[in-house]
Each structure stands twice: as structure tokens, then as C-alpha cells.
Structure 1
Amino acid sequence: MNHRDEMYDDKVPDMIDNAYVIVEFRSGRRASLDLCMFADGAYWQEEFSAVGDKGKIECFVPGASRHWPGRGERQAEVVVSRREPKGPARRTVEVDEHLLILGAHHGSTYFEHLGFQQSVLEGANVRVTVEDGLKAVVIGLAAEQSIRERRVIQIEGLSLH
């Protein structure tokens, strides 16, 4: 859907802008990604969840206000649903309007840059390492190969936990 009207070196970009990806780790854990980069009108632009033996946590990030004209800025939400006691606990995540203007993804880009600045200028520990980035790229490349070749891709020699 995206970038089809663009040309680079006389070629249309081959970006994959929608996908379902499942990663199965050697430990038996699984991760999945449901990606759609053209559904800008959805109430939640991004939804993240983690499920484990103690329950589930969900994070909901609203789309930018430019996608919701006249409706004002909405806040992110976190929902924690424990197995015991049962029932969800919902809380709103307030984000300063200035940060919403500075970065994408409901201000998170700002915090990524702030963390990078603190590690460079103050020697703070990095939150995401080069190794983390390498693993993400390898998984992304394997996902693209899987989509193009319509088959499961095995990743060997990369310690994924």
C-alpha cells in the first residue's frame, strides 16, 4: 500500500508494509508481530501485549492527533490482567504534549533519544545494545525471506533468548 507511487533508481520500493510474523525460540517461547503500516485511522495505532503464566499485560498507544482531527490528543493505556486475583487493572499513561510534538509513537521516540544522549554524555548504561539491534535485523530479514519464499526460516548460530 505504501510508497507505490515512488521510484528509486527506476524501481518501485519493495517495502513490506503488512505482515504476520511468528518467532519460535529454542526455549519454547514464542513472539508474534501483526504489522500494518497503513491503518492510520485505527483508534489504537500500536498495541503490545505479553502473556505469561502469571497473566497478561497490554499497552495501547493512540494514533497521532493528526489522524483524529478535532478529537484532541488521547492518552496511552496499560492494562494488567493477573491470573489471581482475576480481573484487569487499567491505567492511563499521561504524556506531556510537548513530547508528543517532538517525537513519533506517542512520545517514545523522544525517550529513545534521551536514553541515547544519557549513555553518550553521562556514561549511563544503554538500554538497547548493538547485539539487540543485530538480532532484530536478523529476525526481520528472516521474516522477509519467509514471506517472499512462503516457508519457515531457521536461524542458526544466533543466541536468541
Structure 2
Amino acid sequence: KCCHFFDLMRLILQDEPVRVMASAGQEVNHLAEDYDGEVPDIWDTAYVIIDFAMGARAMLELCMYAEGARYQEEISAVGPAGKIECMVPGPGRFWPRHLGEPPVARVVVSPRQPKGPMVVDIPVDPTLLAAGDHNGSTFYQHVQFQRMVRGERTPEVTLFDGAQAVRMGQAAQDAALNRRIVEL
């Protein structure tokens, strides 16, 4: 689950994972389902901490049952210069009409000096929002994939990238199941 976020961590940090710690499980979703006498084992909650080779640390907080939140995804980076946060709403088609217009993606930059957050709304063209999910990024993924198939560009993501993301996910599952730190 969420291997794409592990891939994003590697992309942002330009570094490789060395250690994984996690607490995770199935708390809400699919518990009442039964398939040939078995309940699906789809984990819907987790905290995953990953240490990287150059000293950075990243964390994934997963909650697959918080659909009522204003933002579906929140990413933040914290360092000696301050903090930057990105908040991305879920698909607008799921936003309750009685709450008005769906939220707009936003970036908050909070420098250490001078103190004081700067909030920047990031509106997305409604045509792109209608073209797919992920706040318009599905459109760009399809355009780049089409260009690759036509031979106009090389893939942005390699087989190694995919394998590393899966490896991180497997390490997180192992860490949570066995209550241990997994060295990579």
C-alpha cells in the first residue's frame, strides 16, 4: 500500500533508504466482508518511518478512512530553513455539495526566519480536474505516458525505482508485523 509515496520520498530526497520502522494494521475498512470464510487483510492505517543514507528521515502517515477531511493528501518537509507543506484535496466528485465548493490545493511556506507562514493557493484548471483524479496530475501522467509510447521520451521512472518502492513497502509491512526495525 502506498508504494508511490515511498517512491516520492526517494525522488524528493535523491537518496536511498537504509532503515524502516512501522506500526500498522487493519482498523476499519473491509472488516465486515467475507470471501469464502476469510476477511480481506487490507491494512488501512499505518505510521512508517524511513531513515535514508544521507541522514534524512521521512514518515508516511496512512489513514484510509478519513474521507471527511478537507485534504486527502498532505506532504511536509522540515529542515533547518523552516517547513513547507503541500495539501491536496481528494477528487471533487466526492466532495459533499452542502459544504460548497471543494477545497483548492495549497502550499504553506513557514521559514524559520523571518517567522510567519505564507499560504499560496494552487488552483487547478477545471478541465484537468475533470480528466482524472489526483488533482489534475492524472492528465499529465497520461500525456507523458503517451509521449513515451510514441518514442518521444524515455520513462521518468525506472524498474529500479519501482522495485525500491516495493522493497520499502515490504520492509514496512515486515517491521509492523514483527515489531522490529528492518535494515535495508
TM-score class, shorter-chain normalisation, is: 0.7 to 0.9
Where does the alignment leave 5 or more consecutive residues of structure 2 unmatched? Answer: 1-27
4+ residue stretches of structure 1 with deviation over 6 A? none
Distance in 1 between residues matched to 2:137 and 2:33, nearest whole Å: 28
Contact 2:44 2:62 in 1 (8 A): yes
1:20-76 deviations in whole A, cap 9, x for unaligned? 000012221101000001100011111001122222211001233323223223210
Distance in 2 between residues matched to 1:19 and 1:48, nearest whole Å: 15
Match among 112, 117, 136 for residue 141 of structure 2? 112
1:68: which partner in 2? Answer: 96
Aligned in 2, Cα 1:68/1:29: closer, same or farther, shift over 3 Å? same
Contact 1:145 1:153 in 2 (8 A): yes
Where does the alignment leave 5 or more consecutive residues of structure 1 unmatched? Answer: 156-161
Superposed CA RMSD: 2.0
TM-score, normalised to structure 1, is: 0.83
1:51: which partner in 2? Answer: 78
Shift, 1:138, TM fit: 0.5
Aligned residue-pair number:
155
TM-score, normalised to structure 2, is: 0.74
2:110: which partner in 1? Answer: 81
SS in structure 1 at match of 2:48? strand
SS in structure 2 at match of 1:144? helix
Contact 2:105 2:121 in 1 (8 A): yes
1:71-123 deviations in whole A, cap 9, x for unaligned? 22321001122233332222111112232233222222222222222233253
1:30: which partner in 2? Answer: 57
Shift, 1:125, TM fit: 4.2
SS in structure 2 at match of 1:92? strand
Percent of residue pairs identical:
47
Written as runs of structure 1 = structure 2, the 5 A alignment for 1:2-21 is 2-8=29-35, 10-21=37-48
Distance in 1 between residues matched to 2:176 and 2:141, nearest whole Å: 29
Higher RCO by CA contacts (8 Å cutoff, separation 6 or greater): 2
2:12: which partner in 1? Answer: none
2:156: which partner in 1? Answer: 127
Contact 2:29 2:44 in 1 (8 A): yes
Aligned in 2, Cα 1:106/1:149: closer, same or farther, shift over 3 Å? same
